[in-house]
Amino acid sequence: MPLRLVVANKAYSSWSMRPWLLMAHFHIPFEETVVNIYDEAGRKKLRKLSPTGKAPVLYDGDLRVWESLAIIEYLAEKHPKLDIWPKKKAARAHARAISNEMHAAFMPLRQHCPTNFRREPKFRELTPEAAENVRRIEIIWAETREMFGSKKKPFLFGDFCAADAMFAPVVNRLHIYEAPVSPQSRAYMDAIMALPAWAAWHKDAAREKWREARYEEM
């Protein structure tokens, strides 16, 4: 039985994108269920599929895994031959630390600059708190690449891994609100945005028929 990943609106759901992007990038076969969380029928459906009523949630037969990072950990255990996390212990520990930080922090940036895969880039002044989040994110990217990256490969640990998937929606936020970032951060963002898996998600988001006014008007 193939894996099934339940995701919310591809235009707006940053949490859904993370495991989806990872699975698409690593060619892990899966089927998807996409739910419109801005509609009562969609939320009702999601409450049946997910114990928290939130997406993403992964089904492997009868086994259900929710929370984006737990899904990624499950996939890494299920596919030990894929380098979902970096191979070396120190790099792997660092990758998990920054992924957890991404999962737990950066609320001002999330609130001020919502993910939107249909928005054309347009400048938005950052609040001081959101700007501080961007500063920290740029430090994470720069330090990680300095410590564990490769001059020949563009991702945080050289090759694309779970930590890059965790930061991918932030790339969308920084891009569409034209946040001022260093040339090094921009090069990293361009590498993420050049991934075929990114293009596939973006294409689906563009085709999605659901529109949520609060994001479309911004």
Ligand X SMILES: N[C@@H](CCC(=O)N[C@@H](CS)C(=O)NCC(=O)O)C(=O)O
Rounded to the nearest 5°, which phi and psi values hold at 34?
A: -110, 125
Rounded Cα gap, residues 81 and 78, in angstroms: 9
Among the candidate windows 51-59, 122-130, 141-149, 157-165, which touches ligand X by CB under 6 A?
Answer: 51-59
Number of residues that bind ligand X (CB under 6 A): 14
Q: What angle do CA 29, 32, 34 make, to 5 degrees?
A: 160
Q: Which whole-number Å values give the CA distances from 145 to 1, 111, 187, 198, in the listed order?
A: 38, 27, 12, 21
149 contributes a contact to ligand X by CB under 6 A? no
Q: What x/- string results for residues 85 through 114 when contact with ligand X is judged by CB under 6 A?
A: ------------------x-----------
172 contributes a contact to ligand X by CB under 6 A? no
Q: In angstroms, what is the minimal distance from the CB of 6 to ligand X?
A: 9
Indicate the residue among 16 and 185 with the shorter CB distance to ligand X: 16
Q: Please say whether the beta carbons of 161 and 95 come within 8 A.
A: yes
What does the DSSP 8-state code read for residue 152?
A: S
Q: What x/- string results for residues 63 through 82 when contact with ligand X is judged by CB under 6 A?
A: ----xx--------------
In terms of Cα–Cα distance, which of 148, 149, 135 is closest to 182? Answer: 135
Contact footprint for ligand X (CB under 6 A): 8, 13-16, 37, 43, 53-56, 67-68, 103
